[in-house]
A = this chain, B = another copy of it.
């Protein structure tokens, strides 16, 4: 068992999923799969941080409504985000009155929450578990980089933090045929990248490490999956990932997708290297990918959440940027 993949014995299923995004994401190619698009990036609040909490609150409400349950029927919430002390999640979910476990995995947080949600159900800690992650372009920019008012230019490798929240409710009953079947937590990898405007490069080695270990541990090959979806390496990071794996004799070029590249239209939208932020893979999965699994377009996928474990402080102190990547396998029962 040590360091190998956990294969769930219980039928870990999706009771519901909800995706709430901002205006820019609503203009992208996945628009129709999101539950709510809020043109007002302040979500009716007076600060960006309160806006992010409000977006989280709305996503949790939509997930409960679509699952036809109230929060009284939830046993547990796993959530996390990029704001300092993960305040967006705790403030956004505090009114649900549900046992709450905060996670931190940077942009890998959504995959991590799915994995830990499934582990909690497997162990018997709960039967219905909410898993959520969020990010907001404006709260992230001013926390990690510069206040938006400065109008700073960004470099071509910089990613665009997605304003979005994805939220699913997992359960231990086979309500439909889509299952989380495996979880494989990632190891922190530090390849010495120190450019906070190139997080794709910082995360790609961790993602390659997780995939190489996973294929080796399970004896699987890339071709057997409908999609290998990373979130979020962006254009730059996904290119590095493919090259890294190819140098190890693994070819994922045919079925590799990245949430950061899926959510925007690179021809029409100025998003540099693509989307990032916990909310990107959370919204793309909860909105788009989960639907495709449920309607049969996909039947066996790997979702690999990738995170860059930097803070504004570590960058100022000239630290490098470690990366991490957590893997989830989701299958449709035959």
| B-binding residues in A (CB < 8 A) | 1-3, 6, 47, 49-50, 73, 75-76, 80, 82-87, 90-91, 93-94, 97-106, 112, 116, 119-120, 122-128, 143, 183, 185-188, 190, 309-314, 317, 319, 322, 324
How far, in angstroms, from A103 to B312 measured CA to CA in the complex?
19
> A119 touching B112 by the CB < 8 A rule?
no
A47 in contact with B6 (CB, 8 Å): no
Tell me which of B87, B185, B319 contacts A309 (CB under 8 A): B87
Bound Cα distance from A187 to B94, whole angstroms: 8
Since A91-B319, A102-B103 are in contact, a sample of 8 more A-B pairs with Cβ atoms closer than 8 Å, ordered by chain A residue number, is: A2-B128, A50-B317, A85-B106, A90-B324, A94-B188, A94-B322, A99-B185, A125-B185
Decide: A116 near B91, CB < 8 A? Known: A2-B75, A6-B124: no
Among B97, B125, B183, contact of A125 (Cβ-Cβ < 8 Å)? B183
Q: Look across to chain B and name the residue whose beta carbon is closest to the beta carbon of A139.
A: B313
State A83–B313 Cα separation when bound (angstroms).
9
The answer to whether A322 and B91 have CB atoms under 8 Å apart is: yes
Q: Is the CB of A86 within 8 A of B101?
A: no
- The answer on a CB contact under 8 Å between A103 and B100 is no
* Separation of A65 and B103 alpha carbons in the complex (Å): 28
Q: Check if B314 sits within 8 Å of A91, measured CB to CB.
A: yes
Chain A binding surface SS class: mixed
CB distance from A174 to the nearest CB of B (A): 17
CA distance A324 to B96 in the complex (A): 13
Query: With the chains together, A97 CA to B124 CA distance in Å?
Result: 29
- Which residues of the partner chain B approach A125 to less than 8 Å between Cβ atoms? 6, 119, 183, 185
Cβ–Cβ < 8 Å partners of A93 in chain B: 188
The answer to whether B104 touches A112, judged by C-beta atoms less than 8 angstroms apart, is no
The minimal Cβ–Cβ distance linking A297 to chain B, given in whole angstroms, is: 30
Do B101 and A112 have beta carbons less than 8 Å apart? Answer: yes
Known: A85-B84, A87-B309, A87-B314. A124 touches B122 (CB 8 A): yes
How distant is A327 from chain B, measured CB to nearest CB, in Å?
Answer: 10
CA distance A90 to B313 in the complex (A): 13
Please judge, given known A-B contacts A99-B185, A104-B102, whether A124 and B1 are in contact too, CB under 8 Å.
Answer: yes
Residues in B with CB closer than 8 Å to A324 are 90, 100
A49 — which chain B residues lie within 8 A by C-beta? 313-314, 317
